[in-house]
Amino acid sequence: MIGPVFFILLETSIRKGVRAAISFDIGVILSDLIYILIAYIFYSEVEHLAEGKNSEIAKILGGSLFVIYGVVTFFKKPKDPTVDDDGNIIQNQKDYWLLFLKGFLLNFANPLVIFYWFSIMTLASKKTTMANGEEAPVLLLLAIIMTTFFLFDLLKILGAKQLRPLMTITLLKALNQLIGIVFIGFGVFLLINGFISV
């Protein structure tokens, strides 16, 4: 899926390495799991959230956060990563935790994520049959979806890593600006959507 987080995932892999990108992705997946849990346990309440005025507030807040992050990223000056003698990017434990938190918060701030998982839950609540004709458990379906997401994210991370030798400060600056524009555009879309629905 191509969304704001997709661009950050690629940028993190290019600039900070595979392990850093996986830390970021685990934060994204954890926020997805929390949204899945909310949608699974509070199914009827989530339905009201998706249709009520709270959805507009969530879109306005989420949109504002995305615009702010986009502006900061657009003007952020890229730095050359610190590398060891073998050319591997050096990260400390704190960097991994910060990337994990960044992935978690960026995905969690996107109100469309809860609506996405709510729609998946709605489809999963209908009869889903396995090859042997038995009804598939909803949690099994969700586990397959999350595993597939993670495996595709790994492919994106490893693919982006191959671009690292081509990166210069100029290209990294252009990448920051592209990510900033994507986040600002996504944030403005949420804000407009939220204000129109009020």
Look at residue 31 and tell me if it is in a domain: yes
Look at residue 81 and tell me if it is in a domain: yes
- Residues 117 and 32 sit within 8 Å (Cβ to Cβ): yes
**Domain count of the chain?**
1
Q: What is the pLDDT along the chain (198 residues), one digit of tens a residue?
A: 566 788 888 888 888 888 899 999 999 999 999 888 877 776 655 555 555 556 677 677 777 888 888 888 788 776 665 655 555 566 677 888 999 999 998 888 877 787 777 777 766 665 555 555 565 677 777 888 889 989 999 998 888 888 777 767 777 788 778 888 888 888 888 888 877 765
Look at residue 157 and tell me if it is in a domain: yes
Look at residue 122 and tell me if it is in a domain: yes
Contacts of 181 (CB under 8 A, 6+ apart): 70, 74
Enter the pTM of the model.
Answer: 0.72
Buried b (16+ CB within 10 A) or exposed e, 129-155: eeeeeeeeebeebbeeeeeeeeeebee
Look at residue 181 and tell me if it is in a domain: no
Give the structural domain span for 117: 4-53+74-168
